[in-house]
Structure 1
């Protein structure tokens, strides 16, 4: 029986401002990557997110990003590899403290936004993330299949979960279509479900322009910030399980 993890970015509010469908997602996802206070989140949001996930039996990971709250961490920044190591160690260490205080265990690191894409392309930056993961006890890494993050994890002896996307379109070369491209985001739930099934069952996804592209992954990202995010997550989980796909974290809490 094929098995897939369903993960979501989590705890991306700030102060009095909520963001995303965190509470409603907990019945569908099996792991969460919690914002660590730089691109989003704060101490109270981090603590609340951790406690919610642990109560729901959802595996907890860190979602560190660039110090870019105004741009939500999605803008490129000129940080070098040493900067990235310190940024990931600082943010993930803070989240790990909240997890330990709540009696849980931090499982993985998934860089956010522009940091995620930079680390996928730059082995120096990916190695910096892996170095922080080793320093924090050997945390697993989430990232795109076949990129620098995967190579860095393997080199450091860390577990790695290759990540695919349920609601983002793929180009024929296997990369994600930019959000500014027509059809880049699957707004229709049936398309996101069909893509999830293709990835989980056959290791491939539809490509923009026709045909399929290989996507061999262990986890699927479900974005929690859309207007129908919780509904889509529930639909995908039910559809996968109905098709005989087991839904579980790679490292059960």
Structure 2
């Protein structure tokens, strides 16, 4: 059986004089990038420079829209009307799409950020608003989210392709949702363990939850976070172990 999977990372999250992440290096080892669009992070110069890096490294470009919350990095829940959410999503996709067009490339996907991602996984009305906004801009865009969530159901309902995502460095609950970052065991710091978990998810379709139960997962794309000191080496390890086990790393747009 031939395995193909995408590796994505949230990049372009610097802002003005503040630099976040190691984008120059991590783009060499991922196949798709989720680029901040100015609401939770990023600015026009960062967006342009990040799209350029992706174009140079043949990395699929995607919008990473979030709540309008620079101070909280988009990780705080916000109570917004569905109309507001739709317009915020359209605005952010449109901004990144313009930069992509300026470099002669097409947007591949959209992945919501932080609190918006987590809320949409369980809130059907919010998920519908997001997917309708995406489809209104470009119905050929791929929507990224976790499998068996409100986002997957919403994407399928509006006719969008959906990429099922897992996280290389995050623990999950027994219902498949991510363990809150507010809890001490949310992040997996053992790189060898994380690599074994990723391989198990891709090859066997299961992942051990925080309570020890085994949860079925579907893997189209693997998220690696680029905002920690070991991110680049960690991403290289994951890519290496997957390729050594017969898994081809390609942008999701090539197999979805």
Q: Is the 8 A contact 1:3 1:200 kept in 2?
A: no
Q: Which runs of 4+ in 1 moved over 6 A?
A: none
- Deviation of the 1:43 alpha carbon: 0.2
Equivalent residue, structure 2, for 1:34: 35
Equivalent residue, structure 2, for 1:235: 237
SS in structure 1 at match of 2:135: helix
Aligned length: 253
Q: Is the 8 A contact 1:80 1:125 kept in 2?
A: no
Equivalent residue, structure 2, for 1:125: 126
SS in structure 1 at match of 2:252: coil
SS in structure 1 at match of 2:253: coil
Match status 1:189 vs 2:188 = no
Q: Which moved more, 1:158-167 or 1:132-141?
A: 132-141
Q: Is the 8 A contact 1:31 1:59 kept in 2?
A: yes
Q: Is the 8 A contact 1:37 1:43 kept in 2?
A: yes
Equivalent residue, structure 1, for 2:18: 17
Equivalent residue, structure 1, for 2:46: 45
SS in structure 2 at match of 1:106: coil
Equivalent residue, structure 2, for 1:98: 99
- Deviation of the 1:64 alpha carbon: 0.4
SS in structure 1 at match of 2:117: helix
Structure 2 CA distance, aligned partners of 1:220 and 1:195? Answer: 11
Q: Is the 8 A contact 1:11 1:34 kept in 2?
A: yes
- 1:214-250: CA deviation from partner (whole Å, max 9, x where unpaired): 1112111101111100000000000100011111112
Structure 1 CA distance, aligned partners of 2:208 and 2:108? Answer: 31
Equivalent residue, structure 2, for 1:222: 224
Q: Is the 8 A contact 2:110 2:142 kept in 1?
A: yes
Equivalent residue, structure 1, for 2:251: 249
- Deviation of the 1:137 alpha carbon: 1.7
- 1:111-139: CA deviation from partner (whole Å, max 9, x where unpaired): 10111111111222111111221121211
Structure 2 CA distance, aligned partners of 1:211 and 1:85? Answer: 36
- 1:157-201: CA deviation from partner (whole Å, max 9, x where unpaired): 111101111100122222221223333211111011011101111
Structure 1 CA distance, aligned partners of 2:182 and 2:216? Answer: 23
SS in structure 2 at match of 1:151: helix
Structure 1 CA distance, aligned partners of 2:19 and 2:254? Answer: 28
Unmatched 5+ stretches in structure 2: none
Structure-2-length-normalised TM-score: 0.95
Structure 1 CA distance, aligned partners of 2:57 and 2:254? Answer: 12
Q: Is the 8 A contact 1:39 1:73 kept in 2?
A: yes
Q: 1:146 to 1:209 in 2, by over 3 A?
A: closer
